[in-house]
Amino acid sequence: MSYTTVIGLEVHVQLQTKTKIFCSCVNRFNPDAPNTQTCPVCLGLPGSLPVLNQEAFELSLVTALALNCQIAPFTKWDRKQYYYPDLPKGYQISQYDLPFSHDGWLAATAENGVRRKIRIRRAHLEEDAGKNIHDESGRGSDSQVDLNRAGTPLLEIVTEPDIRSAAEAKSFLEEIHLLLTFLGVSDCNMQEGSLRCDANVNLQLQDGSATPIVEIKNLNTFRGVEAAITFEAERQLQEYEKTGRKLGDAGVEKQTRGWDAHRGLTYAQRGKEEASDYRYFPDPDLLPVTVSAERIASIKTSLPRLPAQRREDFESKLGLSTYDTDVIMNQGPTFADYFQQAVEVSGNAKQTANWMTQEVLRELNEKRISIQQFPMPSGVLGSLVKHVVDGEISVKSAREIFNTGMHLTFQDVPSNFEGIPTPPPSLTPSWIQQEIATKGLKIVSDTGALDNAIAAALAESAKAIEDFRSGKQQALGAVIGKVMKQVKGADPKTVRELIIQKLNS
């Protein structure tokens, strides 16, 4: 039976603030020293009072506006009550019926390559819980609780069920990741749980019915999102064909499932709670927040150019391919900035993109450094590319100069060095000119010098000439080599043409 997969995502983003959302504990991933970043507020001790971290609210506003959301002029905090060892207060401070933002959208790419707007129902701010650490060795040791994460600011972004395939869900999450990276509001470290999501999945079947909704919890890799949804869709179809149970049937509840990445399957966890199970009520310890139209307008004007706009800049204005654009964008905002600055100097986007996606990326990977640590300033790379674009030096010579620059920087850096090597002060546009001059890399268009060198080479290559005249094309190689030795930087193609001209005259 054919079907359509219907998917809605709940994305959780840990915000990169200095301190936690309602106390002054440091907000940092620190699993090695459990329960060291805690205080009476995030431990939920009696008598302690929370105070909203303005930075967390500011970063949330920035993100919601970048997601094209409406900002509520008035928003409040609610207690979501449940018991779990990683939540010592017995409730999580969240936002229930008056989230600070709603009704936005973000475009994602469907399987057929088409970009579609995925509507965002709401984005609200809440606190993260701590972490339960269970003994997985099978020896049955006690579980432990680490509350370092308790009170970390968490932005929850909830989409409408607009997503129609596992690939589109993956693309949506990648777009969110890119957006957050460009905004600088989260470190987006998925291994450390800074970006994770739950997926609500069911199938709209050909016969008009729908399968019961399943929520897959805690997906924290792009591949995991795609694989879990693909598996779940197939499982739901088989289940429906076996039992005929469908959405709306008496006794059919929403189910929560986990994702086992090793075995590649989802597994039943528990029946899904309804909102009423949590007995939400307004938190009496926190003041509601009002947001003025002026504040919204001021944040809107200070937003950086967003990934979708920058993609448009690269493809439409600079004429880059979608592939090159994606490679550059996926390296993050600093890489994209570097590229744009280099293009301003080189005047050629395509060639600069080639250098960025090949030479520069290779260096970054080999040296395990970020573009922030890359020793060659953007203007210098741009200048190097410009020499090639202007036909002054060959690509091969430019590579030689580039590699010399890297060698000068990294030659004395020990292999276990962790930091930023100091680039030699000489890595400047005038250094490039010096390199071209001292190594004689300039392509020689002065035919006078070439003519003399060719005449001299031909004079001592009687055998090669004879071979060439009798049809051996490759015999000219030796003559070209002699000329190149005399005139460094000569273009071999031009030399070859000139030799043939001379032999024919």
d(CA 179, CA 158): 16
d(CA 307, CA 71): 21
42 binds Zn ion (CB under 5 A): yes
23 binds Zn ion (CB under 5 A): yes
Report in angstroms how near the CB of residue 151 gets to Zn ion at its nearest. 5
Q: Residue 41 or 441: which CB sits closer to Zn ion?
A: 41
Apex CA 46: angle with CA 85 and CA 150, to 5°?
Answer: 40
Report in angstroms how near the CB of residue 14 gets to Zn ion at its nearest. 15
> Quick one: DSSP state of residue 404?
H
Report in angstroms how near the CB of residue 23 gets to Zn ion at its nearest. 3
Helices (DSSP H) in 135-213: which residue ranges?
A: 166-183
Give the number of residues in contact with Zn ion, rule: CB under 5 A.
5
The alpha carbon of 475 is separated from its chain's Cα centroid by a whole number of angstroms, namely: 52
329 binds Zn ion (CB under 5 A): no
Gyration radius of the chain's alpha carbons: 31
Show the tokens assigned to 238. Answer: 């088989």
Alpha-carbon torsion angle 238, 241, 243, 245, nearest 10: 90
Report in angstroms how near the CB of residue 19 gets to Zn ion at its nearest. 8
Q: Residue 25 or 123: which CB sits closer to Zn ion?
A: 25
Report in angstroms how near the CB of residue 128 gets to Zn ion at its nearest. 12
Q: Interacting stretch for Zn ion, rule CB under 5 A, among 40-48, 85-93, 349-357, 492-500?
A: 40-48
21 binds Zn ion (CB under 5 A): no
d(CA 376, CA 463): 48
The label of the residue with tokens 């003025």 reads 292
87 binds Zn ion (CB under 5 A): no
Q: Interacting stretch for Zn ion, rule CB under 5 A, among 38-46, 251-259, 280-288, 441-449?
A: 38-46
25 binds Zn ion (CB under 5 A): yes
Q: Rounded to the nearest 10 degrees, what angle do helices 378-389 and 429-438 cross at?
A: 40
Report the site for Zn ion in 233-262 (rule: CB under 5 A). Answer: none
Report in angstroms how near the CB of residue 303 gets to Zn ion at its nearest. 31
User: Which among 365, 56, 174 is positioned nearest to 356, based on CA atoms?
Assistant: 365
Q: Interacting stretch for Zn ion, rule CB under 5 A, among 33-41, 81-89, 363-371, 452-460?
A: 33-41
106 binds Zn ion (CB under 5 A): no
72 binds Zn ion (CB under 5 A): no
Report in angstroms how near the CB of residue 393 gets to Zn ion at its nearest. 59
Helices (DSSP H) in 184-258: which residue ranges?
A: 222-243
Residues that bind Zn ion (CB under 5 A): 23, 25, 39, 41-42
